[in-house]
Amino acid sequence: MAAFVVDDLQLAPRRRKDHAAVINNVFSVDVEEWFQVGAFENTLSREDWPQLESRVELQTHKILQLLETTNTKATFFCLGWVAERSPKLIKTISDQGHEIACHGMDHQRVFRFSASEFLEDVSCAKNLLEDACGKPVQGYRAPSFSMSQDTWGHYEQLIEAGFRYSSSVVPAQTDHYGAAGLPRVPFFPLEGAEFLEVPMTVAQVFGRTIPASGGGYFRLLPKLLSEWLMRKARKQTGIGTIFYMHPWEVDPEQPFVKEAPLKSRLRHYVGQERMAGKLEELLSQNEFMALEDFLTTEFAMGAG
Ligand SMILES: [Zn+2]
């Protein structure tokens, strides 16, 4: 496994100055089915998945509509599982000018894989996505942000599989994931390799580090509070927000899993009716772009 010392990690050189007039943020969508989330993993088994109602196409189309209305381009980190079953959806996303990136095959967290299993998982997903959209796939996001100091060697397999960047760590400790202590701005995880890790946005507030990159936090918290956290993080890091969400977050009509624990149900269902409206406001009031374009605009090393 590759050795690393956090203090020695090389940060990506900036192209733009921090005081530039426009603040560029990243909008990303992790494309997976409603039943593939961590919150339901102890209630719905993987063997049940093929029998459950697929809603990812309908949900993703809602998001595409929202992006079109607000004239925004985004990065879609898609599961190979989805590309296998709905290749047309991947092509449609790409044809609308968005970036297709990879979220692994079937949402297995990366620490469950050996090096060779991980290489197989990401290569297989990447091939399915590239076949579906007809373009090279350069970005990767680990399911449930499961990359951390413990899985550092996996960066070698991402490079071997042909990826150029990853956006797979949350530099804070939360109850579900986290890699506290890692840099909060893009960095090169492996010395000598032109491969970037683009961490999710976190804010330091009253001595605590809190995720400020969207997802469930954006859906559950009042919009003003989310925006305050994002502004705070931007002042602290000098870069815009790396925002993410899931297609199932804009679908109040999806099946209700009443067997799931209360905490999981709250995490999954609360705020879904308001989510699309909140997103539309956010996208209209701020500048968001795809991750590959953000790297080209903001950092000396473009992803393209
Ligand atoms: Zn995911």
Reported as a single tens digit per residue, the pLDDT across 134-185 is 999 999 999 999 999 999 999 999 999 999 999 999 999 877 778 888 999 9
**What distance in angstroms lies between residue 79's CA and the mean position of ligand 1's atoms?**
8
Share of the chain above pLDDT 70, in %: 95
**What distance in angstroms lies between residue 170's CA and the mean position of ligand 1's atoms?**
13
**What distance in angstroms lies between residue 121's CA and the mean position of ligand 1's atoms?**
15
**What distance in angstroms lies between residue 100's CA and the mean position of ligand 1's atoms?**
14
Q: Which residues surround ligand 1, an ion (CB under 5 A)?
A: 30, 32, 143
**What distance in angstroms lies between residue 38's CA and the mean position of ligand 1's atoms?**
8
Greatest Cα-to-Cα distance within the chain, rounded to the nearest angstrom: 52
Report pLDDT for 127: 98
**What distance in angstroms lies between residue 21's CA and the mean position of ligand 1's atoms?**
33
Secondary structure (H, E, C), the chain = CCCCCHHHCEECCECCCCCCCCCEEEEEEEECCHHHCHHHCCCCCHHHHHHCCCCHHHHHHHHHHHHHHCCCCCEEEECHHHHHHCHHHHHHHHHCCCEEEECCCCCCCHHHCCHHHHHHHHHHHHHHHHHHHCCCCCEECCHHHCCCHHHCCHHHHHHHCCCCEECCCCCCECCCCECCCCCCCCEECCCCCCCEECCCCEEEECCEEEECCEHHHHHHCCHHHHHHHHHHHHHHHCCCCEEEECHHHHCCCCCCCCCCCHHHHHHHHCCHHHHHHHHHHHHHHCEEECHHHHHHHHECCCCC
Alpha helices in 17-86 (DSSP H): 56-69, 80-85
**What distance in angstroms lies between residue 191's CA and the mean position of ligand 1's atoms?**
28
Inform me whether the pLDDT recorded for 302 exceeds 60.
Answer: no
Predicted confidence band at 303 (pLDDT cuts at 50, 70, 90)?
very low
Inform me whether the pLDDT recorded for 300 exceeds 90.
Answer: no
**What distance in angstroms lies between residue 200's CA and the mean position of ligand 1's atoms?**
14
**What distance in angstroms lies between residue 253's CA and the mean position of ligand 1's atoms?**
20
**What distance in angstroms lies between residue 20's CA and the mean position of ligand 1's atoms?**
33
User: For 22-41+52-298, CATH number?
Assistant: 3.20.20.370
Report the distance separating Cα 37 and Cα 264, nearest Å: 10
**What distance in angstroms lies between residue 228's CA and the mean position of ligand 1's atoms?**
25
**What distance in angstroms lies between residue 227's CA and the mean position of ligand 1's atoms?**
23
Predicted confidence band at 22 (pLDDT cuts at 50, 70, 90)?
confident
Predicted confidence band at 266 (pLDDT cuts at 50, 70, 90)?
confident
Which residue has better confidence, 216 or 269? 216
Specify burial of residue 114 (Cβ count, 10 A radius: 0-12, 13-18, 19+). exposed
**What distance in angstroms lies between residue 32's CA and the mean position of ligand 1's atoms?**
6
pLDDT tens sequence across 118-130: 999 999 999 999 9
**What distance in angstroms lies between residue 188's CA and the mean position of ligand 1's atoms?**
23
**What distance in angstroms lies between residue 143's CA and the mean position of ligand 1's atoms?**
5
* 3-state secondary structure at position 303: coil
**What distance in angstroms lies between residue 244's CA and the mean position of ligand 1's atoms?**
10
**What distance in angstroms lies between residue 217's CA and the mean position of ligand 1's atoms?**
15
In degrees, rounded to 5, the angle at the alpha carbon of residue 89 between the alpha carbons of residues 88 and 92 is 85
**What distance in angstroms lies between residue 29's CA and the mean position of ligand 1's atoms?**
9
**What distance in angstroms lies between residue 169's CA and the mean position of ligand 1's atoms?**
12
**What distance in angstroms lies between residue 110's CA and the mean position of ligand 1's atoms?**
12
**What distance in angstroms lies between residue 111's CA and the mean position of ligand 1's atoms?**
15
